[in-house]
Each structure stands twice: as C-alpha cells, then as structure tokens.
C-alpha cells in the first residue's frame, strides 16, 4: 500500500555530502536521509586519498587556489574556488570535532600527517591512512544514528522530484519526491519543506569505473527532468590507476601512491611519463590518464604498471595497508611487484548548477557534492578537492535552509503515485541488454579520447535507447534497475550533448578534431526543454 510521509528536510543520498548536511541542520528539523542500498554502499565510502585543505603553515590559500585553477584548465570559477578553499580548514575542524580518526604525524604528535597528490604544489592532503572515505563515512553514520531528528532510510530509490509545476500548483518550488520502497515495491510520496540532492556522480555510465554500482546520476537526471540547468557534463574524470585484474571490481589505487613516489612503468619496466609532462607521475589526472591510454593503444597492452616497491614493505604497510591487503588477495605483493593498472571513469565534474549555498534553479531544491556544479572543478578536478566540496557546501546549504526557512502549505496537495495503468514486466532482459549497450558505447565513443564521428554515433544510439526506456517506463511498474537505467540514459545524453558543443580540447575533454584549447574558456550550459516539467 502506498504511503505519504512528511519531513522538514528530505536528503536524497547518504554519502559524505548528505550526512554532513543532515548533521549540520538544527535539531528541531525532522530530517530523512534516503539511501538506495546500505548506508555504506556509495562512493564516499571508497575514497582512499583524503581531503585537500591548507593546514601547513608553509602552505597558503592562494597556492591551493592556484593549483585548483591550473588543474581545472582555467575553466574553474575563481569565486567558487576561493569560497571552497577559504572554508576548507573550518570543514576539517568540524570533521575532527566529529572524531574522524585522521592519521597523525607521529604517535606522540598533536599534528596530522599530510600527503601530496597530483596537481598539488604542497603537502595538504589530510587523510586516515588509505581509507579516508571509510573513516569519514563510519564516523558520520554513527553520529547520524545517534541523532533523534534524523531518520536513515535504506533500500529506497528516488524516482522523481515533486514540484509545484508538476502538481499543477503556482510557483516554482520543490515540495518533495516520489520514493520507491524496494521491500514493498510501492512508490511513496515524501513531502518536505526543503529537498537536497546528494546522490553522487554518474560514472556508472561507463563500462569501466572505480565507482559503486549506485553511481547512476540519479540526482542530475531528476533535477534535469524537474527543470534545472546542468553544466559541463562533458568533463568526466578518468582516474589513471584502477587495479587491473579479472577478479577485481572497481578497486582504486590511490593517487597518494604516486604522491609517495610510485612510478608508472610499461610492461618492460620502462618509465614513460617523462614523455608527456615534466611533473611526471604528479601531473593532473587528465594528463596521466591520457598518457596511459596512449601507451596502451600504441603497444596494444591491456594495462601499465605502478611500482611503489622501492619504498619498502614497512612504509607501504604504514601508508597503504588497505591497498596492500587487497592486492595481496589477488596474488600481487606490492612491496615486491608493480601493480597492473588501467584508467577508469571516476568523477563527474559537471552537474546541476548551484550557487554557493547549494541552491538550484528551483526554490527549495539543493544539490551538493558530486551531483552539483559549483564551478570549483572547471575542466578537471584537482585531487582530493571532491570530499572537501561535500563538507563546505553541506555547511553553506544547511545555513541557507535555516536562514530562508519557508513552511510550505502546498505539500498537502501532492498527488499519490499513479500505477493504475501499469503491469509487472516479464521482459527484464531488455533492461540488462540496454544497460550493457549504453555503458559500452559510452566507453568506446565518449571516453578518454573523442572525435566528432564517435560522438555522433553515440548520439544516435542514446536516442534509440531513450525511446525504448521511456516506453518501458510508461507501461511497467518501476524497479530500481529501471530507475537507474532511465537516469543513466538521460545523463549519457547530457554528456554527449555537452561534448558535441565543445569545439576544443580542454582538461578532461580531449577530441582529435579540435586538439587545441580555445582562447576563451567557457562553460557548457544545457537548459531542459519545457515539456520535461510541464
């Protein structure tokens, strides 16, 4: 039986951004945090490296800002970058107050160990060994479970946002969301005074990714269908070093391995980064990923190798215990042997357009974390700026919600989800086939290196898939697989459309037809057609 629920704030997503927002809201606000799977199933949990912040007296805010601008190929918004970097230390202090167990410099030291990653000119990455995301996520989940005003709701999938326009009411405001309860199979209506999208990115649109299975661009697709603009969807970051092994699924080899001296090698043991960038292994991720892609294609090899064995076993066990153990499970002793690695889709730099408070084009609707486009990342994300963005914008969104609180009388007028005209599907094979086809042609045609011809082919294919998926969606009861596939197809079309508009190579978007950067850096902004939300 369908149900209706009322909350002050509805947060869709249980990662670093969503949980931080929930914890920074006042205790008198009733908050629901929606998670598609278990609370620890998202990408935040997998983050290894750490959080970028100026914590060393020898470092400076201006240096961090400049590194972010350079890594973003001069496309980042200077105002957003400064806002994020200047608020970084405050966010780290908040995490310390939550008792996140960051690695200390020495056992008897009151300072924290800082590491350096690609694109950074200083050591400024605070971390919890090589499992920062796990440490942060566990801490925030524990705090949220202790909070009387926060309901953590698992195995619930957001289907679509509820807005005044969709409900036939005046104004342009988000007043809730339709949520699929995976246990009952019914779609329930959740009413809220404010709704926040913290659903992460869309890297599952690619065949090979370091992300969790839930990274299907749900928040971006829902916001687009509700009438929000999106920006810079063509900039998909491919992490240079994902473990290459037939039995390993989406296991990342942290940027910090290169930061601590790891060397990239060909199969014959020859280094190659000196041919691509003077910064060698510490060049920004787009450069390193393209270099690896180039060498693999040139030689016909399945992977390259990352060697940290020269640092010794004791050092490796201290700094990379998780990576060491996981590789050992696959028969690779990284204290003696190099690690086979390949690039994999890792981070979505574009997203739903927001301001510094996380507010979207629709009143009452916020987007934070990887779902959002704040202008911080430009054409390429600087390592470890992603978790930082989650915490900074969660705080600013919480403050804005409270300062602009508007009780919404319209929530009582929300219609229940109508499934009277649909039936159960007996053709789920169509879903799995379309899922595989989508991810494969995105990898082949809209990957690390692009061309006009490849993008045109991808556009034809995604148009056909969107038609099939929408027909399926209209006639059958929704399932989590159908919801994710529908969202992935929408996001794929946004990525392709954005890539076709950019007539240059910049940052993460590299095309053989336009190999040089334009003189003026501009964002790619897409506006949804009216029929999507009317």
Per the annotation, the verdict on 290 as an active-site residue is no
**To 10 degrees, what angle do helices 132-146 and 385-403 make?**
20
Write the CA distances from 231 to 53, 82, 249, 251, 521, integer angstroms.
26, 20, 30, 28, 14
For the beta sheet containing 236-243, the strands, ordered from the edge strand earlier in sequence to the opposite edge, are 236-243, 339-348, 304-307, 263-265
Write the CA distances from 152 to 22, 147, 415, integer angstroms.
10, 10, 24
Bridge partners for 471 per DSSP: none
Full DSSP string of 349-388: --EEE--TT-B-SSBTEEE-GGGEE-SSSTTSPPTTHHHH
**To 10 degrees, what angle do helices 78-86 and 385-403 make?**
90
Cα of 158 vs its chain's centroid, Å: 17
**In the block, which residue shows the tokens 């005003």?**
149
Bridge partners for 6 per DSSP: 191
Bridge partners for 10 per DSSP: 32, 195
Catalytic residue among 46, 285, 450, 454: 285
| Alpha helices, DSSP H, located in 232-378 | 255-259, 285-299, 313-319, 321-329
Candidates 240, 23, 299, 265; CA nearest to 149 is 23
Q: Give the catalytic positions in this structure.
A: 285
């Amino acid at each position: 039986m369908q149900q209706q629920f009322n909350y002050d704030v509805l947060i869709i997503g249980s990662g670093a951004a969503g949980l931080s927002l929930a914890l920074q809201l006042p205790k008198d606000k009733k908050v629901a945090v929606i998670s598609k799977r278990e609370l620890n199933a998202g990408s935040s949990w997998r983050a290894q490296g750490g959080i970028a912040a100026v914590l060393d007296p020898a470092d400076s805010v201006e240096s961090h800002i400049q590194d972010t601008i350079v890594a973003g190929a001069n496309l980042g918004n200077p105002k957003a970058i400064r806002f994020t970097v200047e608020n970084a230390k405050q966010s780290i202090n908040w995490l310390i107050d939550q008792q996140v167990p960051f690695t200390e410099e020495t056992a008897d030291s009151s300072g924290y160990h800082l590491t350096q990653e690609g694109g950074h000119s200083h050591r400024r990455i605070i971390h919890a060994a090589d499992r920062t995301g796990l440490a942060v996520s566990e801490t925030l989940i524990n705090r949220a479970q202790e909070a009387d005003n926060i309901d953590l709701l698992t195995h619930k999938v957001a289907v679509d946002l509820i807005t005044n326009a969709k409900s036939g009411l005046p104004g342009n405001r988000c007043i809730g969301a339709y949520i699929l309860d995976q246990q009952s199979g019914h779609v329930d209506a959740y009413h809220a005074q404010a709704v926040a999208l913290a659903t992460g990115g869309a890297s599952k649109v690619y065949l090979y990714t370091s992300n969790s299975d839930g990274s299907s661009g749900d928040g971006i697709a829902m916001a687009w269908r509700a009438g929000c603009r999106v920006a810079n969807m063509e900039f998909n970051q491919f992490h240079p070093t994902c473990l290459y092994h037939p039995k390993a699924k989406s296991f990342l080899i942290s940027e910090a391995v290169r930061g601590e001296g790891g060397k990239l090698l060909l199969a014959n043991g020859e280094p190659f980064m000196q041919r691509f960038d003077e910064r060698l292994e510490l060049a920004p991720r787009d450069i390193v990923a393209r270099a690896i892609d180039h060498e693999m294609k040139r030689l016909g090899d399945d992977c390259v190798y990352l060697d940290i064995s020269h640092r010794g076993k004791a050092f490796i066990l201290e700094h990379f215990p998780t990576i060491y153990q996981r590789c050992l499970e696959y028969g690779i002793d990284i204290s003696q042997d190099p690690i086979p690695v390949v690039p994999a889709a890792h981070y979505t730099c574009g997203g739903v357009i927001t301001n510094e408070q996380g507010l979207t084009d629709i009143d009452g609707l916020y987007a934070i974390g990887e779902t959002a486009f704040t202008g911080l990342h430009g054409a390429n994300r600087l390592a470890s700026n992603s978790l930082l963005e989650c915490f900074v914008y969660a705080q600013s969104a919480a403050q804005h919600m409270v300062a602009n609180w508007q009780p919404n009388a319209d929530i009582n007028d929300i219609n229940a989800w109508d499934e009277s005209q649909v039936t159960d599907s007996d053709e789920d094979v169509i879903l799995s086939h379309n899922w595989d086809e989508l991810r494969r042609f995105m990898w082949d045609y809209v990957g690390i290196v692009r061309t006009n011809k490849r993008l045109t082919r991808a556009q034809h294919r995604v148009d056909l898939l969107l038609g099939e998926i929408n027909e399926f969606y209209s006639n059958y009861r929704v399932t989590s697989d159908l919801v994710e596939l529908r969202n992935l197809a929408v996001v794929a079309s946004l990525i392709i459309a954005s890539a076709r508009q950019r007539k240059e190579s910049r940052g993460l978007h590299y095309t053989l037809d336009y190999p040089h950067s334009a003189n003026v850096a501009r964002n790619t902004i897409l506006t949804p057609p009216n029929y999507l939300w009317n």
